[in-house]
């Protein structure tokens, strides 16, 4: 019989509404600004305000922020436009090749029209001989078995087509 009473009491406590999980706490503020929270009463001379504290069960969700006001604003009326490119970087060789093509040529140790002298040196290394005529220059690379490669540059220092 005692076991049934305990089971009944436990089930009754679990079925209480959520407001039953709330409790009131006293917020006591003294004259010097010290704040104390207690379930007992405040000291004499302290100002009292009641605070309701709720304990939430697992899985309970509460909104921390108020709902957004979905009024239409002036910025919503404007249609989005594609960004406009005001300036574009241009290399001294006139952008004959893009960065991807330049990178692939350097990795594969090839020379492509539009590469600068620095790009050629990155791809093939320092030249064995440099020849300068008028405003153009040439790099000569001595390869294996008596073969050589000649790279001509224009007056801007770019490989010719």
Quick one: average pLDDT of 8-21?
61
The residues with which 49 forms a beta bridge, in sequence order, are 27
Quick one: average pLDDT of 120-138?
89
Phi, psi of 22 (to 5 degrees): -85, 150
pLDDT band at 74 (very low <50, low <70, confident <90, very high): low
Direct distance between the N- and C-terminal alpha carbons of the chain, in angstroms, rounded to an integer: 104
CA 21 to chain centre: 42
The CA distance from 9 to 7, in Å, is 5
Please state, as a whole number, how many other Cβ atoms lie within 10 Å of the Cβ of residue 143: 10
CA neighbours within 13 Å on the CB side: how many for 124?
Answer: 21
Quick one: average pLDDT of 12-33?
73
Mean of the per-residue pLDDT values for the chain?
Answer: 79
Give the three-class secondary structure for 133: strand
Q: What is the pLDDT of residues 27-58, one digit of tens each?
A: 899 888 888 888 888 888 888 888 887 777 77
The CA distance from 132 to 153, in Å, is 9
Quick one: average pLDDT of 134-154?
86
Q: What is the pLDDT of residues 87-122, one digit of tens each?
A: 666 777 877 888 888 899 999 989 988 888 889 999
Q: Which residue has the higher pLDDT, 159 or 8?
A: 159
pLDDT for residue 135: 82
């Amino acid at each position: 019989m005692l076991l049934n009473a305990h089971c009944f009491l436990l089930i009754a406590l679990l079925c209480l509404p959520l407001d039953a999980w709330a409790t009131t706490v006293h917020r006591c503020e003294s004259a010097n600004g010290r704040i104390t929270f207690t379930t007992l009463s405040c000291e004499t001379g302290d100002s009292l305000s009641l605070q309701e504290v709720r304990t939430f069960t697992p899985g309970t969700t509460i909104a921390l922020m108020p709902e957004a006001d979905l009024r239409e604003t002036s910025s919503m009326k404007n249609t989005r436009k594609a960004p406009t490119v005001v300036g574009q970087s241009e290399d001294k060789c006139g952008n004959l090749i893009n960065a991807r093509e330049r990178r692939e040529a350097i990795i594969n140790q090839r020379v492509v029209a539009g590469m600068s002298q620095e790009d050629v040196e990155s791809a093939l290394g320092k030249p064995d001989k440099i020849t300068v005529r008028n405003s153009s220059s040439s790099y000569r690379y001595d390869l294996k078995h008596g073969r050589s490669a000649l790279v001509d540059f224009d007056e801007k220092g770019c490989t010719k087509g």
